[in-house]
Structure 1
Amino acid sequence: MMLSGVENVVRRSVKRVSLYRFHHDHDLQARKILQRLESRYGKTDPNNLRLADAYARDVFGDPVYAPWLRVYAAFCGTFKEGWIPDNYYGIVVVPHMQGWYGKISSLKPISRLIFDDDELPDVAYFANGLFFTDQSVVVPERDLKDVVFEHAERVVFKLDGSGQGKGVYFFDRSNFDPAVIRSLGNGVIQTFIVQHSLFTAFASKPVATLRFTTVVDDAGRISIRACYLRLGRADDTHVLSDREICVPVKLETGELCDDGYMSDWGAVDAHPDSGVRFAGVKIPCFENCMATVLRLHRRIPFVRCIGWDVTVDANDQVKVMEWNGKHNDVKFSEATQGPCFADLKWERLRSEPECARVPPG
């Protein structure tokens, strides 16, 4: 059925409002971080800010992409060509490189169907009124507890679309209730991971995760572009994005960089609670972690850029806790390890008119 002229106008207006809000939110976030950086380390070189503004206009075609470039320049103390602004990544790169296929990462019960890999700690799922195992066998509600706790003493339930530490719930056999899962919504039940002792030294409660970013280039080659360690605070049950400490990891060696960064981008050389320093620490089983994310990305190469949350357990086993094929965060990696994607020529994707773009969601 053809849309009327009025319907077309309304749709375009809604898209423009949504697009404005998307860029406005990014602008506010970037400006806040820039203010924090400058209050802590002093004013940014005005020449670097001018370069950021000019690069946004000349390379990406719009000054709305300048705020994140300004943050990167302030953080690094210089300007680097090839940086990708996070809002450009979300509004231009993601639709081109991920499309609808990237959005399936929010539907947690299908991860095992895609990857069929033991590195996933999934034991059961709830979706559309049914409980079923990681082998897609439907489980009667009365039998669910026995299935879930057959090989685990504690489990984690994560809602579809959960992120930034939200929508995560913990259960043991004594408080597990299928009715509670039903009330929460669709999602995955995972075995609680007892993390490697190296991670426990930083913070014992929240399971530390490695955030890998992998990409598929136009020739189909898959590569790792960035990695950082996400650590929670001592009193948190799991890593929360507004309280995490992020430490860049050297891809060549698996070693942590000397400094980590709080959620306000302030540098610290040790975990703020335990006091354990980052310098000289090497991630356990790092080569296996890299091999795992590369192998899994080969199963779904048409999602061209993926963020992976990976950890290593107490038995030196790699575990893939989540994957994100939507708007996985690139701004921290760009600032600390970038430009991470300069050779991919993503700036050439900007040909589509802004009014036709829809913010990721």
Structure 2
Amino acid sequence: MQVKRLVKHSWENLSRRRFDWKHHVEAGKILRAIEERHGKTDPAQMRLADAYARDVFGDTCYAPWLHAYTAFNRTFKEGWIPDNYYGWIVVPKLKGMYGKISHLKPLSRLLFHDDVFPDIGYYVNGMFFSVDHVAIPDAKVAELAFASTDTVVFKLDQSMQGRGVFLMNRANFDVARIKQLGNGVLQRFIVQHESFRQFASKAVATIRLTTVVDNAGDISLRACFLRLGRTTDSFIRPDSEICVPADLASGRLNREGYSSDWMGVDAHPDSRTRFEGVTLPAYEQCVRKVIELHAKVPYARCVGWDVTVDADEQVMLMEWNAEHNDVKFSEATQGPCFSDLKWEKLKLGA
């Protein structure tokens, strides 16, 4: 038993070091990009970030993201949550296994009982199913898939940010290929709202909304930004996307958006369409919908929702991530987003 405990402890320490190192590298890359463009950050502000990581979070391994946030804002702000602290401490304590459910795509509609999902059918464990979870013979799958659309999207379980996502039409649709790919959901391809099409993004634009459940059980919106793809991408990719923060009250886009290394741009790089003056379509409906959905799965205390609005101004939910959803971009551009929740008290040993 002693040997097993020692092996487990060693494995946990190794996993922790690898996790923090990955975040250290990512945050360092962003920090260097910011400082190459804007110059070195005030050392006094960086020392404040170091002290905050040590005194509030209990470890300087959390300093790299605080450095990146500080460089981006040119000043340190108390209340920021480092992304590796969020992933290592907050996610397991405030979500546990319940957050992992969002990776199982065929369960979403069954869980929420809502038509906001563009689902057509599912492939799970060797069988195809309709959205009503009725078994479908292989010979009828194509008929089901293209009954009301010419293009479908197949998303594997645990797919996100364009990975594990496949675009299919009538000509290349292949039941055998889907079986080889694995469990997932078939969805209709969404024709996006004109407000999004003006940015010349072939990929369907999504609005990332982050909601939280506080200790009283109240659900609130904490962050919002628009995610846009590039003309060469069929799906939004994390290494090429443009993210534009939006005002939480109105849905009005900020004047400036940002590339994956947090470099500011005032217009989409391809269309040259400016962000200033654009308000997200059906914004109030989007916010109401995600809060309504979160109330159905309050066990995962923080969720990132990727919604879009189609050409008929209908709100559609593309993805939801109840595990390690992205908080770092929102913390840098709109944060501190979670300072009233006292997440820093969740740290190990507290």
Q: Secondary structure at the match of 2:117?
A: coil
Partner of 1:253: 250
Which residue pairs with 2:139 in the alignment?
A: 142
| Alignment equivalent of 2:334, drawn from 331, 334, 337 | 337
Mapped to 1, the partners of 2:149 and 2:139 lie a distance apart of 18
User: Match of 2:135, SS?
Assistant: coil
How far, CA to CA, are the matches of 2:317 and 2:233 in structure 1? 20
| Cα deviation digits, residues 274-304 of structure 1 (max 9, x gap) | 0000001011100000011011001101110
AA aligned opposite 2:156: L
Q: Counterparts of 1:1-361 in structure 2 under 5 Å?
A: 4-352=1-349
- The gaps in structure 1 that reach 5 residues or longer are 354-361
1:83-134 CA-to-partner distances (Å, cap 9, x unmatched) read: 0000000000000111000001101110011111111001111111111011
Using the alignment, how far apart are the partners of 1:181 and 1:123 within structure 2? 14
8 Å contact 1:211–1:309 — kept in the other structure? yes
Shift of 1:173: 1.6
Distance (whole Å) between structure 1 residues aligned to residue 333 and residue 262 of structure 2: 10
Contact 1:209 1:309 in 2 (8 A): yes
2: distance between equivalents of 1:28 and 1:272? 26
Cα distance in structure 2, aligned partners of 1:218 and 1:53: 29
- Contact 2:194–2:311 (CA<8 Å) still a contact in 1? yes
The DSSP-based 3-state class of the residue aligned with 1:39 is: helix
For 2:297 and 2:21, how far apart are their aligned partners in 1? 33
* Aligned-pair CA distance for 1:151: 1.5
SS in 1 for 2:198: helix
Deviations 1:17-37 (A, max 9, x none): 111000011011111110110
**Aligned residues of 2:200 and 2:230 also touching (Cα < 8 A):** yes
SS at match of 1:213: strand
- Count of residues in Structure 1 that have an aligned counterpart in Structure 2: 350
Cα distance in structure 2, aligned partners of 1:96 and 1:151: 43
Give the aligned residue type for 2:228.
Answer: L
Task: Give structure 2 stretches of 5+ with no counterpart.
Answer: none
Alpha-carbon deviations, 1:214-261, whole Å to 9, x = none?
Answer: 000000000000000000001111100110000001011110000000
Counterpart amino acid of residue 34 in structure 2: L
Paired residue for 1:359? none
* 1:315 CA drift (Å): 0.4
Cα separation, 2, equivalents of 1:40 and 1:304:
37
- Name the SS for the 1:161 alignment partner: strand
Alpha carbons 2:103, 2:321 under 8 Å: kept: yes
* 8 Å contact kept, 2:91–2:324: yes
Partner Cα separation in structure 1 for residue 261 and residue 65 of structure 2? 14
Aligned-residue CA RMSD (Å): 0.9
Q: Aligned equivalents of 1:352 and 1:118: distance in 2? A: 43
> Are the equivalent residues in 2 in contact too, given 1:203–1:231 (CA < 8 A)?
no
C-alpha deviation, 1:10, in angstroms: 1.1
Q: Normalising to structure 1: TM-score of the pair?
A: 0.96
The whole-number CA distance in structure 2 between the counterparts of 1:133 and 1:315 is 24
Flag the 1:71–1:204 CA change in 2: closer, same or farther, 3 A.
Answer: closer
User: CA–CA distance in 2 between the matches of 1:165 and 1:154?
Assistant: 16
Cα distance in 1 for residues equivalent to 2:215 and 2:266: 39
User: C-alpha displacement at 1:164, in angstroms?
Assistant: 2.4
- TM-score by length of structure 2 reads 0.99
Measure the CA separation in 2 of the matches of 1:165 and 1:235: 13
The letter of the residue matching 1:113 is: L
**Aligned mates of 2:4, 2:125 — CA distance in 1:** 33
Report the alpha carbon displacement of residue 70 of structure 1 after superposing the two structures with TM.
Answer: 0.7
- How many Å separate the matches in 1 of 2:24 and 2:233? 29
**Counterpart-to-counterpart distance in 2, 1:7 and 1:133:** 46
The structure 1 segments of at least 4 consecutive aligned residues displaced by more than 4 Å after TM superposition are none
